């Protein structure tokens, strides 16, 4: 697994931790300009820690779905060329705007990821990656609807949350259904459960078909 340029393991209090270089966004430790990317608060961070090959590289163009207050999106914006960060809840927007004010590469969008037509006039086509972490029902459909922004050799890097689909069904069955749906538009390259750091979440790396 290769980390994107601009992402590295650095020493913090004697321990090697994932980190990016940028302005702190959520009270994380900073040493020599590098700030800890807390994998306990970030599914993408947990994917890197698990050694998953996400296909992300430095200077990527990224569409980030489910940005919340920008914890993970701020780290991606530290190494990417541009990050279009979509979040539909107004509450975390203040924090996301603060993270964006410190980074020219972070473009916050108050939109619903199920309705890509509402931001298609802002987001460029041919992007290198769609990173998805939306706590909503129909996560496979969200990925399919946003496939239009990806380059042919781009990557979907998604964290699927079982409980957002159905709290009563077994997560494995939910993931099986979601992957079958995803395969209508993507070739699935890798999957990995993110337990115990992120319970009942499945990491998925895929490319458009």
Ligand X SMILES: C[S@@+](CC[C@H](N)C(=O)[O-])C[C@H]1O[C@@H](n2cnc3c(N)ncnc32)[C@H](O)[C@@H]1O
Residues in contact with ligand X by the rule CB under 6 A: 42, 66-68, 71-72, 86-89, 92, 112-114, 133-136
Choice between 34 and 64, CB closer to ligand X = 64
Q: Kindly state the smallest distance separating residue 99's Cβ from ligand X, in Å.
A: 10
Closest CA to 74 of 97, 52, 40: 97
Nearer to ligand X, 52 or 113 (CB): 113
CB of 21 to ligand X, least distance (A): 18
CA distance 129 to 115: 18
Q: What share of the chain is helix, strand, coil (3-state, %, to 5)?
A: 25, 35, 40
Burial of 97: CB neighbours in 10 Å, binned 0-12, 13-18, 19+: middle
The β-bridge relationship of strands 61-65 and 127-132 is parallel
Instruction: Give the shortest CB-183-to-ligand X separation in angstroms.
Output: 22
Q: Which is nearer to ligand X, 32 or 78 (CB)?
A: 78
Rounded to whole angstroms, the Cα distance separating 21 from 14 reads 19
- In the complex with ligand X, which residue's Cβ is closer, 122 or 187? 122
In whole angstroms, how close is the CB of 133 to ligand X at the nearest point?
A: 4
């Amino acid at each position: 697994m290769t980390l994107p340029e601009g992402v590295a393991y650095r020493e913090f209090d004697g321990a090697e931790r994932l980190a990016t270089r940028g302005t702190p966004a959520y009270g994380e430790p900073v040493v020599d300009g590098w700030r800890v990317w807390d994998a306990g608060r970030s599914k993408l961070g947990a994917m890197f820690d698990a050694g998953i090959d996400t296909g992300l590289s430095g200077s990527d163009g990224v569409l980030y779905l489910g940005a919340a207050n920008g914890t993970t999106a701020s780290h991606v914006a530290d190494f990417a060329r541009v990050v279009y960060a979509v979040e539909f809840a107004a509450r975390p927007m203040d924090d996301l705007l603060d993270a964006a004010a410190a980074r020219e590469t972070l473009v916050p969008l108050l939109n619903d990821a199920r309705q890509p037509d509402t931001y298609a006039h802002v987001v460029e086509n041919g992007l290198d990656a769609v990173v998805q972490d939306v706590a909503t029902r129909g996560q496979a459909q969200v990925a399919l609807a946003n496939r239009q922004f990806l380059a042919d050799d781009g990557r979907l890097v998604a964290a699927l949350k079982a409980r957002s689909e159905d709290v009563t069904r077994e997560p494995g069955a939910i993931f099986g259904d979601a992957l079958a749906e995803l395969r209508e538009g993507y070739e699935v390259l890798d999957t990995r459960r993110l337990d115990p750091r992120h319970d009942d979440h499945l990491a998925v790396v895929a490319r458009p078909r």
